[in-house]
Amino acid sequence: MSYQVLARKWRPRSFREMVGQTHVLKALINALDSQRLHHAYLFTGTRGVGKTTIARIIAKCLNCETGITSTPCGECSVCREIDEGRFVDLIEIDAASRTKVEDTRELLDNVQYAPSRGRFKVYLIDEVHMLSSHSFNALLKTLEEPPPYVKFILATTDPQKLPATILSRCLQFSLKNMTPERVVEHLTHVLGVENVPFEDDALWLLGRAADGSMRDAMSLTDQAIAFGEGKVLAADVRAMLGTLDHGQVFDVLAALIEGDARSLLEAVRHLAEQGPDWSGVLSEILNVLHRVAIAQALPEGVDNGHGDRDRVLALAQSLPAEDVQFYYQMGLIGRRDLPLAPDPRGGFEMVLLRMLAFRPADADNAPTQPLKSVGINPATVDSRTAVASSASAASRPQTAPAPVIDTPAPVKVPEPQPAAAKAEEEIDLPWNEPKVAPPAVEPEHEPEPSPQPASVAEMPEPVLDTVAEQPDLTPMPAPAPASPVPDAPEVASPEQLQAAADAVTPQMIEHVPDATPYVPAPMERDDEPPPDDDYIEPDIDIDPASFAYLDDLAHEAVEAVEKEPELLPASKPATGLAADWLELFPKLPISGMTGSIAANCTLISVEGDNWLLHLDPAHSALFNSTQQRRLNDALNQYHERTLNLSIELIKPEQETPAQAAARRRADRQKQAEAAIHGDPFIQQMMQQFGASIREDTIAPVDAPAQAQV
């Protein structure tokens, strides 16, 4: 007798021999036992999950000589003929080869005839979604009301292509894919009966390669038996399928856990000997990391679909949860960017090295081979970045050369302003009064300038060795926005105003009343990142002496004036201690978020060395213990004694420095608008030419935007 393949030899002949699909079998068995039979059934699912097999078993159950039962005898002539595929009343139709409407009409012409031998005439239409629309229309009436002795069983792998009219006339059963565990369990039974030696790892490889299809698993097992000369071995199956050794994925992850670059690259070299698909290798690593994350969250939820449940649980115990998430995210990004790499293997190695290099340096399981520090030209780094880098380098055990911080490029000092303009400026902005500055550095004591780019090479600059020598430059205040008025002659467009405001940098300086050159004041070490974990370094560093950030608050205050009747939240003007705080605040050596917090505070009480401030809760997002300590240190430095500072999150009733700056800014803006509206020349233009004023182009005369325009 010729050899019969395992997929046909082990095709189930009764419901009890079926593997899986319990949800479908239960409904069919109960319907057969209770004689509640439908005239049309639709089975959907991927290939090789048992659609045709269940249809043939139903035909046996309906036509078995012992009666309609869910357990056909399998020995009568009807059961044997159905098993051998020669039962006359079981008409199997391949819809893929008979798609024409003429074929469907021929089929329906025979429906009216009673069955020849059996109790029912069963029409099994496989791949029914391949029928044409005309064929479906021809089938509708008969499918809805067939003769009592006719049963229709439809099978398809793509139910979305079926018309809703067909779906509504059938009982639909969706067959599930076979899990690798169920496939391995069935293959173990089959190979045991067939007396074929096998390895468990080989069966897991076949179960995963079957991709949910039991027929594919049986066909691959036939191929593996032939490839292994009667044996099913893991090495032979891996070579036959061209798949990756799953253990090598764990070797790569083990090298990552140890932080050993040598072992990591050695594992990649072993992978390269198999010529794998590097994107597929990354996918395997991501699958393992996904299962490791599940094991850390719910150990009993880890499936054994790859036969490595114990190794996954062990890996979940040795790898921190945050590292698992980090490696998974980096692997996803690396897999996306892998086609952009010049060489797939090189791109894969870079993904692994990136995982290794970006391990948190203060972790207990940090890499055993730390990366070397990279020197950066100070001329190409912003001064604030260099300060932060020097602070972080000082906290590390490695020794690195101290960064050289460059001062901003010197600019040309403008001509002295008239005394009246200076007096007006002092009245509007009291915090712009000249501060006591340290004596200027003599040219002969200046150190050698650091290398500069070609654009600033002609400007000699002193090199500051410490952060305290960092210049404290005072940027000019920014203009406040106003409500736009359409249809007006354009004096200065908003784009020009914005471009002019962007051009203003901290390098622009103001001259003091005696027209002497501006001498920078020492900067406090406020850019240095604190050791506290709750501190977040701001993106920009604002000079408190100039109150540049208060101009931004003034913008918001002016907008609030236009929307609400009240000018500022403060209900009372600053008096007493609150007024003293307005005078003291510009003199404190603070900046950044600490300066922003202090600007929204007011002084409530002073009892000896105990100071109490109230902070507006609306600005409490920036407040933490680090900011309070920094503000306390600034007060200690200014008063040259130790003070105890307390800050409560209570909305100040009196005016804060930020509110005072916003109020002054709003007043100056109103004065500027009043001056424009009251100008006789402008009024004449409005009367004679019908001109109108664009409010958004009005700014105080000493604002940067107006000065630039």
The average pLDDT across 342-358 equals: 89
For domain 6-174, say whether CATH 3.40.630.30 is its number: no
Q: Give the burial class of 657: count Cβ atoms within 10 A of its Cβ; 0-12 exposed, 13-18 middle, 19 or more buried.
A: buried
Residue 455 forms beta bridges with which residues?
none
Architecture of the 180-241 domain: Orthogonal Bundle (1.10)
Each domain of the chain, given as residue ranges in start order, spans 6-174, 180-241, 246-357, 459-709
Q: Is the pLDDT of residue 563 over 70?
A: no
Strand order in the sheet with 150-156: 90-94, 121-126, 150-156, 40-44, 171-174
Report the candidate in 633, 583, 626, 586 with the shortest Cα–Cα distance to residue 611: 633
Q: Give the burial class of 559: count Cβ atoms within 10 A of its Cβ; 0-12 exposed, 13-18 middle, 19 or more buried.
A: middle
CA 396 to chain centre: 30
Q: Is the pLDDT of residue 387 over 70?
A: no
140-149 long-range Cβ contacts below 8 angstroms, 24+ apart = 140/165, 140/166, 140/169, 142/108, 142/111, 143/40, 143/169, 143/170, 144/169, 146/39, 146/40, 146/111, 147/111, 147/112, 147/114, 149/114, 149/115, 149/119, 149/120, 149/121
Residues listed for the chain: 709
CA 553-557-559 angle, 5° bins: 120
Q: Is the pLDDT of residue 273 over 60?
A: yes
CB neighbours (10 Å) of residue 11? 17
Cα 155 from Cα 96, distance rounded (Å): 12
CA 226 to chain centre: 48
Are 334 and 351 a contacting pair, CB within 8 Å?
yes
Between 35 and 410, residue with greater pLDDT: 35
End-to-end CA gap in the chain: 101
Cα 252 from Cα 281, distance rounded (Å): 10
Cα 653 from Cα 656, distance rounded (Å): 9
The predicted-structure confidence for 49-105, as pLDDT tens digits, reads as follows 999 999 999 999 999 988 898 999 888 999 999 988 889 999 898 888 877 888 888
Q: Is the pLDDT of residue 41 over 70?
A: yes
Model pLDDT, residue 62: 92
CATH of domain 246-357: 1.20.272.10
Q: Is the pLDDT of residue 533 over 60?
A: no
The average pLDDT across 21-42 equals: 91
The average pLDDT across 110-133 equals: 89
CA 345-346-351 angle, 5° bins: 95
The predicted-structure confidence for 576-630, as pLDDT tens digits, reads as follows 888 888 888 888 888 888 888 888 888 888 888 888 888 888 877 778 888 888 8
Q: 3-class DSSP state for residue 536? A: coil
The predicted-structure confidence for 400-413, as pLDDT tens digits, reads as follows 444 444 444 444 44
CA 208-210-214 angle, 5° bins: 125
Please report, rounded to a whole number, the percentage of residues in the chain having pLDDT higher than 90: 14
